[in-house]
Amino acid sequence: MTLKVKLYFKNGVDTVGIVKDLLALPAPLRPYYFAEDEGKIIKTNVISDKVRFSDFRKNNEIGFFLYTKGKMMIDISTNSGYAEITVWLKKNMPEEYAHTFLKSLTKHNPIFGYACDDDEYDHRNRYYITIGKSHIQAWIGRRLENNIPGVYWCTLFSDYILQKYGVTLSDLADEAISVETIGDKIYLLQFYHYARDWKDNRELLDDLCERVSGIFSRRIVDASIDRKNISYLEFNEALQQWR
């Protein structure tokens, strides 16, 4: 099981300050290397070399990768409508690390975030279909510019994003097993105890996504697509509104 943890910020967020706070994380989560390309670690590219790292950041303003000593990747991207920071926790890491990461950057005012099993994320935001002999997969509902992408095992909401999409905290909190205020109008909701139990709880969260306007629901896509009688062009056109 791989846990995906993601935080969104308004563009213009202080990435220098974010990296500084990431360096205060527990050792297994603490970044050590920086990299321009995914999966390519150069051992001389260490964050502790402040001059080298500063020059690197200036040349990679739209995003870059950080790696822990254990080669766990942290993706920092500002190449979209929002700044995004994503980490994939290595297998067998304690699930508590997901909470630690979600809470670690509170002072930078994240506007949305989540932690969940990678398979739960695929269930909620990836669409699979077979058309003729072609097996097709596409991402759906992920753009925070259009909607709240979903509700997951642990989900962070800010007043900003709730108000933007007309969602009230009580709409969500009633289904959560815990609601924690972790910053100035920032709330961390946990919907079931363990990330690995997502299959037992997917109907609960699918129902919640469908019921609350402003949150993306894959059921709307399912209801709109005739899986047996659709061409690739028709499928691609239908999916545009949910990219």
Do 209 and 173 share a structural domain?
yes
Domain boundary among 82, 110, 138: 110
Convert the pLDDT of each residue in 58-112 to its tens digit.
Answer: 888 888 999 999 999 999 998 778 999 999 998 889 999 999 999 999 999 999 9
Q: Is 185 left (phi over 0), alpha (psi -120 to 50) or beta?
A: left
Domain identity same for 123 and 241: yes
Q: How many domains does the chain have?
A: 2
Whether 78 and 137 map to the same domain: the answer is no
For position 187, what pLDDT does the model report?
98
Let me know whether 160 and 235 are in one domain: yes
pLDDT at site 234: 83
From 110, 144, 166, give the residue that closes a domain. 110
Looking at mean pLDDT, say which of 32-46, 57-71, 169-183 comes out highest: 169-183
Same domain, 231 and 158: yes
Same domain, 143 and 91: no
Both tokens assigned to 151: 């509700």
What's the pLDDT at 20? 94
Residue 243 predicted with pLDDT over 90 = no
Do 144 and 102 share a structural domain?
Answer: no
Burial of 93 (0-12, 13-18, 19+ CB in 10 A): middle
183-229 pLDDT per residue, tens: 889 999 999 999 999 999 999 999 999 999 999 999 998 888 878 88
Do 146 and 89 share a structural domain?
no
- Alpha carbon 179 to its chain's center: 19
Whether the per-residue pLDDT at 12 is higher than 90: the answer is no
Q: Helix, strand, or coil here: 8?
A: strand
Verify that 96 and 209 share a domain, yes or no.
Answer: no
Question: Residue 239: its pLDDT value, please?
Answer: 82
Mean pLDDT of 44-56: 94
End residue of a domain, out of 48, 82, 110: 110
92 with 43, same domain? yes
Span 61-76, pLDDT tens digits? 888 999 999 999 999 9
Q: How far apart are CA 191 and CA 198, in angstroms?
A: 10
Q: Give the domain range for residue 129.
A: 118-243
Beta strands, E only, 60-166: 63-68, 73-77, 82-89, 112-117, 126-131, 134-139, 154-158
Residues 6 and 96 occupy one common structural domain: yes
Same structural domain, 103 and 125: no
